Amino acid sequence: MIFIDACFKKPTDYTPIWIMRQAGRYMPEYRALRAEVGSFLDLCKSVKHATEVTLQPINYLNVDAAILFSDILTLPNAMGLDLSFEANKGPVFANPVQNEKDLLKLKNNAFKDMQYVYDTVQSVRGKLDKSKALIGFAGSPWTVATYMVEGSGTKTFYNIKQKLYTDPSFMHKLLEILTEQTKFYLEEQIKAGADAIMIFDSWANALPYEDYYEFSFKYMLEISNYLKEKYPHIALILFPKGVSSFLPQINGNFDVVGIDWSISLEYARDTLSHKYTLQGNMDPSKIHSKETIDEAVERIVDIMKGKSHIFNFGHGIMPTAKPELVKYLVEQVHKKSGIASR
Ligand code: 1CP
Protein backbone atom coordinates (compact mmCIF):
# COMPACT_ATOMS: atom_id res chain seq x y z
CA MET A 1 0.00 0.00 0.00
CA ILE A 2 1.61 3.21 -1.16
CA PHE A 3 -0.14 5.21 1.58
CA ILE A 4 1.32 2.99 4.34
CA ASP A 5 4.77 3.05 2.72
CA ALA A 6 4.68 6.85 2.82
CA CYS A 7 3.56 6.81 6.48
CA PHE A 8 6.63 4.74 7.32
CA LYS A 9 8.96 6.94 5.26
CA LYS A 10 9.60 4.28 2.63
CA PRO A 11 10.28 5.62 -0.89
CA THR A 12 7.21 5.76 -3.16
CA ASP A 13 6.87 6.19 -6.94
CA TYR A 14 4.48 9.09 -6.46
CA THR A 15 2.87 11.00 -3.58
CA PRO A 16 -0.21 9.29 -2.18
CA ILE A 17 -3.28 11.45 -1.65
CA TRP A 18 -6.59 11.31 0.17
CA ILE A 19 -8.94 14.14 1.07
CA MET A 20 -10.02 15.06 4.57
CA ARG A 21 -13.82 14.56 4.73
CA GLN A 22 -13.70 12.90 1.30
CA ALA A 23 -17.04 11.15 1.89
CA GLY A 24 -19.62 13.86 2.30
CA ARG A 25 -21.94 16.50 1.11
CA TYR A 26 -20.00 17.65 -2.00
CA MET A 27 -20.74 14.23 -3.57
CA PRO A 28 -24.19 13.77 -5.18
CA GLU A 29 -24.04 10.03 -4.36
CA TYR A 30 -23.60 10.90 -0.66
CA ARG A 31 -26.45 13.41 -0.65
CA ALA A 32 -28.76 10.87 -2.30
CA LEU A 33 -28.00 8.15 0.25
CA ARG A 34 -28.18 10.62 3.15
CA ALA A 35 -31.66 11.71 2.00
CA GLU A 36 -32.76 8.11 1.66
CA VAL A 37 -31.53 7.06 5.12
CA GLY A 38 -32.76 10.24 6.85
CA SER A 39 -30.47 11.07 9.75
CA PHE A 40 -26.69 11.35 9.73
CA LEU A 41 -26.39 9.12 12.82
CA ASP A 42 -28.50 6.41 11.20
CA LEU A 43 -26.16 6.56 8.24
CA CYS A 44 -23.15 6.08 10.54
CA LYS A 45 -24.85 3.22 12.38
CA SER A 46 -25.91 1.24 9.31
CA VAL A 47 -22.99 -1.01 8.37
CA LYS A 48 -24.26 -1.43 4.82
CA HIS A 49 -24.73 2.29 4.16
CA ALA A 50 -21.60 3.45 6.02
CA THR A 51 -19.59 0.96 3.95
CA GLU A 52 -21.12 2.28 0.74
CA VAL A 53 -20.41 5.92 1.66
CA THR A 54 -16.82 5.12 2.71
CA LEU A 55 -16.18 3.54 -0.70
CA GLN A 56 -17.89 6.24 -2.84
CA PRO A 57 -14.86 8.58 -3.03
CA ILE A 58 -12.44 5.67 -3.55
CA ASN A 59 -14.23 4.55 -6.67
CA TYR A 60 -14.80 8.03 -8.02
CA LEU A 61 -11.58 9.83 -7.07
CA ASN A 62 -9.01 7.01 -7.07
CA VAL A 63 -7.47 8.28 -3.82
CA ASP A 64 -4.91 6.04 -2.09
CA ALA A 65 -6.73 5.65 1.22
CA ALA A 66 -10.29 5.32 2.48
CA ILE A 67 -11.38 6.81 5.81
CA LEU A 68 -14.05 5.10 7.85
CA PHE A 69 -17.37 6.92 7.54
CA SER A 70 -18.32 7.90 11.07
CA ASP A 71 -17.86 10.92 13.33
CA ILE A 72 -15.68 11.91 16.27
CA LEU A 73 -18.87 12.32 18.35
CA THR A 74 -20.15 8.75 18.15
CA LEU A 75 -17.94 7.83 21.14
CA PRO A 76 -19.49 10.38 23.55
CA ASN A 77 -22.85 9.35 22.11
CA ALA A 78 -22.13 5.77 23.23
CA MET A 79 -21.04 7.17 26.62
CA GLY A 80 -24.61 8.36 27.14
CA LEU A 81 -24.81 11.82 25.56
CA ASP A 82 -27.89 12.28 23.43
CA LEU A 83 -26.60 13.40 20.00
CA SER A 84 -28.39 14.92 17.04
CA PHE A 85 -27.15 16.69 13.91
CA GLU A 86 -29.31 19.69 13.15
CA ALA A 87 -29.42 21.41 9.77
CA ASN A 88 -27.38 24.66 9.85
CA LYS A 89 -26.31 24.04 13.46
CA GLY A 90 -24.17 20.91 13.22
CA PRO A 91 -23.88 18.47 16.11
CA VAL A 92 -25.88 19.06 19.32
CA PHE A 93 -25.74 17.20 22.64
CA ALA A 94 -29.02 17.52 24.57
CA ASN A 95 -27.31 16.75 27.90
CA PRO A 96 -23.83 18.34 27.97
CA VAL A 97 -21.35 17.49 30.73
CA GLN A 98 -21.30 20.29 33.29
CA ASN A 99 -20.02 18.99 36.61
CA GLU A 100 -18.45 16.05 38.44
CA LYS A 101 -21.87 14.42 38.85
CA ASP A 102 -22.26 14.34 35.08
CA LEU A 103 -18.87 12.62 34.81
CA LEU A 104 -20.14 9.80 37.03
CA LYS A 105 -23.06 9.28 34.66
CA LEU A 106 -20.79 8.61 31.67
CA LYS A 107 -20.92 5.00 30.66
CA ASN A 108 -17.75 2.97 31.28
CA ASN A 109 -16.52 0.80 28.44
CA ALA A 110 -18.78 2.57 25.94
CA PHE A 111 -16.39 1.38 23.21
CA LYS A 112 -17.95 -2.06 23.69
CA ASP A 113 -21.27 -0.67 22.43
CA MET A 114 -19.80 0.47 19.12
CA GLN A 115 -19.83 -2.83 17.30
CA TYR A 116 -21.39 -1.10 14.28
CA VAL A 117 -18.13 0.83 13.81
CA TYR A 118 -15.97 -2.30 13.95
CA ASP A 119 -18.36 -4.13 11.63
CA THR A 120 -18.11 -1.25 9.15
CA VAL A 121 -14.30 -1.33 9.31
CA GLN A 122 -14.34 -5.06 8.63
CA SER A 123 -16.85 -4.73 5.82
CA VAL A 124 -14.94 -1.88 4.11
CA ARG A 125 -11.60 -3.69 4.44
CA GLY A 126 -13.17 -6.74 2.79
CA LYS A 127 -14.35 -4.71 -0.20
CA LEU A 128 -11.43 -2.29 -0.57
CA ASP A 129 -8.70 -2.98 -3.11
CA LYS A 130 -5.56 -4.43 -1.46
CA SER A 131 -3.48 -1.52 -2.71
CA LYS A 132 -5.56 1.03 -0.76
CA ALA A 133 -5.31 1.69 2.97
CA LEU A 134 -8.19 2.05 5.39
CA ILE A 135 -7.88 4.81 7.99
CA GLY A 136 -9.76 4.47 11.29
CA PHE A 137 -10.05 7.54 13.51
CA ALA A 138 -11.17 9.28 16.68
CA GLY A 139 -11.22 12.85 17.94
CA SER A 140 -8.54 13.89 20.43
CA PRO A 141 -9.78 13.92 24.04
CA TRP A 142 -9.61 17.75 24.08
CA THR A 143 -11.54 18.23 20.83
CA VAL A 144 -14.24 15.73 21.82
CA ALA A 145 -14.46 17.35 25.27
CA THR A 146 -15.21 20.75 23.70
CA TYR A 147 -18.45 19.35 22.24
CA MET A 148 -19.32 17.44 25.43
CA VAL A 149 -19.00 20.54 27.61
CA GLU A 150 -20.34 23.16 25.18
CA GLY A 151 -23.17 20.93 23.94
CA SER A 152 -22.47 21.95 20.32
CA GLY A 153 -19.86 23.51 18.09
CA THR A 154 -18.63 26.88 19.40
CA LYS A 155 -16.72 29.92 18.15
CA THR A 156 -15.61 31.15 21.59
CA PHE A 157 -15.08 27.94 23.63
CA TYR A 158 -16.36 30.03 26.55
CA ASN A 159 -17.81 27.25 28.74
CA ILE A 160 -15.00 24.78 28.40
CA LYS A 161 -12.38 27.48 29.00
CA GLN A 162 -14.19 28.64 32.13
CA LYS A 163 -13.97 25.04 33.35
CA LEU A 164 -10.35 24.74 32.33
CA TYR A 165 -9.28 27.88 34.22
CA THR A 166 -11.53 27.59 37.28
CA ASP A 167 -11.68 23.83 37.72
CA PRO A 168 -8.70 22.19 35.99
CA SER A 169 -9.17 19.00 38.01
CA PHE A 170 -12.64 18.52 36.44
CA MET A 171 -11.11 19.01 33.00
CA HIS A 172 -8.35 16.49 33.63
CA LYS A 173 -10.87 13.94 34.92
CA LEU A 174 -12.96 14.28 31.76
CA LEU A 175 -9.85 14.13 29.54
CA GLU A 176 -8.62 11.02 31.36
CA ILE A 177 -11.96 9.26 30.88
CA LEU A 178 -11.90 10.11 27.17
CA THR A 179 -8.27 9.02 26.81
CA GLU A 180 -9.00 5.58 28.30
CA GLN A 181 -12.04 5.00 26.14
CA THR A 182 -10.37 6.32 22.98
CA LYS A 183 -7.44 3.91 23.40
CA PHE A 184 -9.74 0.91 23.45
CA TYR A 185 -12.05 2.33 20.77
CA LEU A 186 -9.12 2.73 18.36
CA GLU A 187 -7.69 -0.65 19.33
CA GLU A 188 -10.96 -2.30 18.29
CA GLN A 189 -10.81 -0.48 14.94
CA ILE A 190 -7.30 -1.89 14.44
CA LYS A 191 -8.46 -5.40 15.35
CA ALA A 192 -11.30 -5.05 12.83
CA GLY A 193 -8.84 -4.25 10.03
CA ALA A 194 -7.87 -0.55 10.00
CA ASP A 195 -4.39 -0.08 8.47
CA ALA A 196 -3.83 3.38 9.91
CA ILE A 197 -5.32 5.52 12.67
CA MET A 198 -5.77 9.29 12.67
CA ILE A 199 -6.46 11.41 15.75
CA PHE A 200 -8.19 14.70 14.93
CA ASP A 201 -7.36 17.58 17.25
CA SER A 202 -9.43 20.00 15.23
CA TRP A 203 -9.79 22.50 18.08
CA ALA A 204 -6.17 22.46 19.22
CA ASN A 205 -6.01 26.17 18.39
CA ALA A 206 -8.64 27.01 21.02
CA LEU A 207 -5.96 26.43 23.66
CA PRO A 208 -3.27 28.99 24.41
CA TYR A 209 0.26 27.87 23.56
CA GLU A 210 1.21 27.40 27.22
CA ASP A 211 -1.76 25.11 27.94
CA TYR A 212 -1.69 23.01 24.78
CA TYR A 213 0.63 20.25 26.00
CA GLU A 214 -1.09 19.87 29.37
CA PHE A 215 -4.70 19.80 28.16
CA SER A 216 -4.37 18.16 24.79
CA PHE A 217 -1.07 16.94 23.37
CA LYS A 218 -0.16 14.91 26.46
CA TYR A 219 -3.36 12.89 26.14
CA MET A 220 -2.81 12.21 22.45
CA LEU A 221 0.67 10.92 23.36
CA GLU A 222 -0.85 8.59 25.92
CA ILE A 223 -3.11 7.12 23.23
CA SER A 224 -0.31 6.86 20.66
CA ASN A 225 2.08 5.20 23.15
CA TYR A 226 -0.57 2.63 24.00
CA LEU A 227 -1.33 1.82 20.36
CA LYS A 228 2.26 1.89 19.09
CA GLU A 229 3.46 -0.47 21.79
CA LYS A 230 0.87 -3.08 20.84
CA TYR A 231 0.52 -2.38 17.10
CA PRO A 232 3.80 -0.93 15.80
CA HIS A 233 2.89 -1.85 12.20
CA ILE A 234 -0.23 0.37 12.26
CA ALA A 235 0.49 3.87 10.98
CA LEU A 236 -0.48 6.65 13.39
CA ILE A 237 -1.37 10.17 12.26
CA LEU A 238 -1.83 13.14 14.60
CA PHE A 239 -3.58 16.28 13.37
CA PRO A 240 -3.12 19.18 15.78
CA LYS A 241 -4.92 21.96 13.92
CA GLY A 242 -3.74 25.55 14.01
CA VAL A 243 -0.85 25.29 16.47
CA SER A 244 2.13 26.37 14.37
CA SER A 245 4.04 27.73 17.36
CA PHE A 246 3.89 24.29 18.95
CA LEU A 247 5.54 22.51 15.97
CA PRO A 248 9.08 22.42 17.46
CA GLN A 249 7.71 20.61 20.52
CA ILE A 250 5.99 17.90 18.52
CA ASN A 251 7.67 14.68 19.54
CA GLY A 252 6.45 11.19 20.32
CA ASN A 253 5.69 7.71 19.14
CA PHE A 254 3.65 8.25 15.96
CA ASP A 255 4.41 8.35 12.24
CA VAL A 256 2.65 11.22 10.50
CA VAL A 257 1.81 14.82 11.44
CA GLY A 258 -1.14 16.46 9.71
CA ILE A 259 -0.29 20.05 8.76
CA ASP A 260 -3.18 22.48 8.48
CA TRP A 261 -3.41 25.02 5.67
CA SER A 262 -2.44 28.02 7.84
CA ILE A 263 1.08 26.68 8.45
CA SER A 264 4.10 27.36 6.23
CA LEU A 265 4.85 23.98 4.66
CA GLU A 266 8.54 24.90 4.32
CA TYR A 267 8.68 25.58 8.05
CA ALA A 268 6.84 22.33 8.90
CA ARG A 269 9.20 20.41 6.58
CA ASP A 270 12.33 21.95 8.12
CA THR A 271 11.03 21.39 11.66
CA LEU A 272 9.50 17.92 11.41
CA SER A 273 10.44 16.05 8.21
CA HIS A 274 13.59 14.45 9.65
CA LYS A 275 11.33 12.49 12.01
CA TYR A 276 7.83 12.35 10.56
CA THR A 277 5.97 12.03 7.31
CA LEU A 278 3.94 15.19 6.74
CA GLN A 279 0.33 15.17 5.56
CA GLY A 280 -1.33 18.21 4.04
CA ASN A 281 -1.70 21.10 3.56
CA MET A 282 -3.51 22.59 0.54
CA ASP A 283 -6.06 25.25 1.41
CA PRO A 284 -9.45 23.60 0.65
CA SER A 285 -10.54 26.88 -1.00
CA LYS A 286 -7.95 26.36 -3.76
CA ILE A 287 -10.16 23.64 -5.25
CA HIS A 288 -11.83 26.58 -7.01
CA SER A 289 -10.49 26.01 -10.57
CA LYS A 290 -7.96 23.96 -12.56
CA GLU A 291 -5.58 26.93 -12.46
CA THR A 292 -5.68 27.30 -8.67
CA ILE A 293 -5.28 23.52 -8.32
CA ASP A 294 -2.30 23.38 -10.70
CA GLU A 295 -0.59 26.18 -8.85
CA ALA A 296 -1.17 24.56 -5.42
CA VAL A 297 -0.06 21.09 -6.54
CA GLU A 298 3.13 22.36 -8.15
CA ARG A 299 4.04 24.43 -5.12
CA ILE A 300 3.39 21.66 -2.56
CA VAL A 301 5.04 18.88 -4.58
CA ASP A 302 8.07 21.11 -5.08
CA ILE A 303 8.37 21.97 -1.37
CA MET A 304 8.09 18.31 -0.30
CA LYS A 305 10.34 16.90 -3.06
CA GLY A 306 12.61 14.20 -1.61
CA LYS A 307 10.71 14.08 1.72
CA SER A 308 8.00 11.69 2.89
CA HIS A 309 4.66 13.29 2.13
CA ILE A 310 0.97 12.46 1.92
CA PHE A 311 -0.95 15.02 -0.09
CA ASN A 312 -4.17 16.26 1.52
CA PHE A 313 -6.08 19.41 2.27
CA GLY A 314 -5.11 21.31 5.40
CA HIS A 315 -8.67 20.73 6.71
CA GLY A 316 -11.95 19.26 5.50
CA ILE A 317 -13.25 19.67 1.97
CA MET A 318 -16.15 22.10 1.67
CA PRO A 319 -19.64 20.97 0.60
CA THR A 320 -19.41 23.43 -2.33
CA ALA A 321 -16.40 21.66 -3.93
CA LYS A 322 -17.02 20.34 -7.46
CA PRO A 323 -16.39 16.55 -7.56
CA GLU A 324 -14.81 16.72 -11.03
CA LEU A 325 -12.24 19.25 -9.78
CA VAL A 326 -11.41 17.02 -6.79
CA LYS A 327 -10.85 14.16 -9.24
CA TYR A 328 -8.61 16.46 -11.29
CA LEU A 329 -6.61 17.29 -8.16
CA VAL A 330 -5.97 13.59 -7.43
CA GLU A 331 -4.82 12.99 -11.03
CA GLN A 332 -2.50 15.98 -10.97
CA VAL A 333 -0.90 15.00 -7.65
CA HIS A 334 -0.22 11.48 -8.91
CA LYS A 335 1.12 12.78 -12.21
CA LYS A 336 3.24 15.70 -11.04
CA SER A 337 4.71 13.93 -8.00
CA GLY A 338 5.48 10.88 -10.16
CA ILE A 339 7.53 13.05 -12.48
CA ALA A 340 9.16 14.85 -9.55
CA SER A 341 10.22 11.61 -7.86
CA ARG A 342 12.10 10.37 -10.91
O1 1CP B 1 -25.23 16.61 7.31
C2 1CP B 1 -24.44 15.68 7.12
O3 1CP B 1 -24.55 14.87 6.18
C4 1CP B 1 -23.37 15.48 8.15
C5 1CP B 1 -22.09 16.16 7.81
C6 1CP B 1 -21.00 15.36 8.48
C7 1CP B 1 -20.18 14.39 7.86
C8 1CP B 1 -20.20 13.96 6.42
C9 1CP B 1 -20.64 15.38 9.86
C10 1CP B 1 -21.28 16.18 10.93
N11 1CP B 1 -19.63 14.45 10.07
C12 1CP B 1 -19.31 13.83 8.89
C13 1CP B 1 -18.35 12.72 8.69
C14 1CP B 1 -17.04 12.78 9.33
N15 1CP B 1 -16.69 13.54 10.40
C16 1CP B 1 -15.91 12.00 8.94
C17 1CP B 1 -15.90 10.88 7.91
C18 1CP B 1 -16.00 11.38 6.50
C19 1CP B 1 -14.73 11.49 5.72
O20 1CP B 1 -13.73 12.06 6.21
O21 1CP B 1 -14.74 11.04 4.58
C22 1CP B 1 -14.85 12.40 9.77
C23 1CP B 1 -13.40 11.89 9.72
C24 1CP B 1 -15.37 13.35 10.69
C25 1CP B 1 -14.57 13.93 11.78
C26 1CP B 1 -15.10 15.13 12.49
N27 1CP B 1 -16.38 15.40 12.92
C28 1CP B 1 -14.25 16.18 12.97
C29 1CP B 1 -12.75 16.19 12.80
C30 1CP B 1 -12.36 16.58 11.40
C31 1CP B 1 -12.53 18.05 11.08
O32 1CP B 1 -13.17 18.32 10.05
O33 1CP B 1 -12.03 18.89 11.81
C34 1CP B 1 -15.06 17.12 13.64
C35 1CP B 1 -14.62 18.40 14.29
C36 1CP B 1 -16.41 16.62 13.61
C37 1CP B 1 -17.61 17.21 14.24
C38 1CP B 1 -18.66 17.44 13.22
N39 1CP B 1 -19.47 16.46 12.71
C40 1CP B 1 -20.29 16.97 11.73
C41 1CP B 1 -19.99 18.36 11.59
C42 1CP B 1 -20.67 19.30 10.63
C43 1CP B 1 -18.94 18.62 12.50
C44 1CP B 1 -18.22 19.98 12.67
C45 1CP B 1 -19.05 20.88 13.52
C46 1CP B 1 -18.31 22.12 13.94
O47 1CP B 1 -17.82 22.86 13.07
O48 1CP B 1 -18.21 22.32 15.16
Please report the pLDDT score of residue 86 as a whole number.
83
> How is 163-175 classified by DSSP, letter by letter?
HHHH-HHHHHHHH
Tell me the C-alpha distance between 328 and 330, whole Å. Answer: 5
Enter the DSSP assignment of 196: E
- Beta strand 83-86 pairing with 90-93: antiparallel
- Beta strand 277-282 pairing with 309-313: parallel
Determine if ligand 1 sits within 6 Å of the CB of residue 252: no
Distance 57 CA to ligand 1 centre (A): 16
Longest dimension (CA), the chain: 60
Distance 218 CA to ligand 1 centre (A): 24
Query: Domain limits of the chain?
Result: 2-340
Determine if ligand 1 sits within 6 Å of the CB of residue 76: no
Among protein residues, the one with the nearest Cα to ligand 1's atom 33 is: 202
Once rounded to an integer, what is the mean pLDDT over residues 140-159?
97
Please report the pLDDT score of residue 88 as a whole number.
80
Distance 68 CA to ligand 1 centre (A): 12
CB of 93 closer than 8 Å to CB of 81: yes
- Beta strand 65-67 pairing with 196-201: unpaired
Determine if ligand 1 sits within 6 Å of the CB of residue 24: yes
Determine if ligand 1 sits within 6 Å of the CB of residue 69: yes
The model's pTM: 0.97
3 state DSSP class of 256: strand
Provide the β-strand partners of residue 137. 198
Question: What Å distances lie between residue 256 and 30, 228, 286, CA to CA?
Answer: 29, 13, 23
pLDDT tens string 289-341: 999 999 999 999 999 999 999 999 999 999 999 999 999 999 999 999 998 76
Please report the pLDDT score of residue 154 as a whole number.
94
CATH of 2-340 among 3.40.50.720, 1.10.3720.10, 3.40.50.300, 3.20.20.210 = 3.20.20.210
pLDDT tens string 201-236: 999 999 999 999 999 999 999 999 999 999 999 999
- Residues with Cβ within 8 Å of 178's Cβ and at least 6 positions away in sequence, in order, are 75, 76, 141, 144, 145, 219
pLDDT tens string 68-120: 999 999 999 999 999 999 888 899 999 999 999 999 999 999 999 999 999 99
pLDDT category, 157, cuts 50, 70, 90? Answer: very high
Quick one: which atom of ligand 1 is closest to the CA of 147? 48
